[in-house]
Amino acid sequence: MIDFFRKYKFFAIFLLILSAIIITVIYQIMIPKKFLKIYQPADVSAELVDTTLHYVKKYHTIADFNLTNQNGKFITQENYRDKIYVADFFFTTCQTICPIMTDNMAQLQKNLKDDDEVLLLSHTVTPEIDSVAQLKKYALEKGVNDAKWNLVTGDKKEIYDLARKSYLVAKDVPYSENDLVHTENFVLVDKKKRIRGFYDGTDSAAIEKLLEDIQILKMEE
């Protein structure tokens, strides 16, 4: 018996390794692959969506835009082509939720600093105050990496339309060019300009979930 095992021990080791590989492969196949939801306007609270979109259930994407960043550079969808990105709305003089949101966006920047596939985009909701110079000052204070994170200003109606009609993150009180209440939401956008998640930009646990979902989205794409 001992001689038998000595004779075939390498074959037995090979079978053992092969069995382990087969079991691992079967286990991986059986585990369902994770996919993130594709959000449509109809999935979001009505108060955050323009009335023209309340019943839209498919094909929603982020509209094209033409805004200006902290360096005076025009920023469009082309700057985010083939990128995953996280978007939010803020203003530099905000003393409530915005500082927390900006700190958490900075944390995202730190965690994703070596990931060229993911970018950040913050829109001011007070473009009449947040000029390019003001955004640059704010960017320097917050340690913004220009290659990773754009703070953008521009036409107020365009920004407000983006918030209400594209990213679905602003309240109508009522909606007008001079009256919009942005939320604390961070929005995860995929490479096809679709919304894949909403996250509380003031909650550290939500930021961790966002980082996890970015990795899921990268595997999906």
- One domain, residues 117 and 10: no
Instruction: Report yes or no: 69 and 143 within 8 Å, Cβ to Cβ.
Output: no
Is residue 160 a part of any domain in this protein? yes
119-to-16, 52, 161 alpha-carbon distances in Å: 45, 29, 21
Is 57 in the same domain as 22? no
> In this structure, are 94 and 17 located in the same domain?
no
Q: Are strands 66-68 and 74-76 parallel, antiparallel or unpaired?
A: antiparallel
State the DSSP code for 134.
H
Q: Do 110 and 153 lie in a common domain?
A: yes
| Residue 177: band (very low, low, confident or very high) from pLDDT cuts 50, 70, 90 | low
* Domain count along the chain: 2
What's the pLDDT score for residue 220? 86
5 within a domain of the structure (yes/no): yes
Question: Looking at residue 28, what is its pLDDT?
Answer: 47
Record the tokens describing residue 190, joined without a space: 């995929």
Together in a domain, 112 and 179:
yes
Give the pTM: 0.84
Strand 118-124, strand 149-152: pairing: parallel
How far apart CA 38 and CA 194 sit, in angstroms, is: 7
Q: Are residues 24 and 48 in the same domain?
A: no
- What pLDDT does 27 receive? 46
Tell me, yes or no, whether 25 and 102 share the same domain: no
Residues 161, 123 within the same domain: yes
pLDDT tens by residue, 71-83? 999 999 999 999 9
Whether residue 193 sits in one domain with residue 152: yes
Choose among 221, 197, 211, 205: nearest CA to 36.
Answer: 197
Q: Quick one: pLDDT at residue 214?
A: 98
Peptide bond into 174 cis (omega under 30): yes
The parent domain of residue 157 ranges over 41-220
For residues 16 and 48, state if they share a domain: no
Domain identity same for 23 and 125: no
Residue 64 shares a structural domain with residue 112: yes
Residue count (the chain): 221
Rounded Cα–Cα distance for residues 29 and 36 (Å): 19
Indicate whether 152 belongs to any domain: yes
Alpha-carbon distance 109 to 148, whole Å? Answer: 7
36 in any annotated domain = no
Residue 3 has pLDDT above 70, yes or no: no
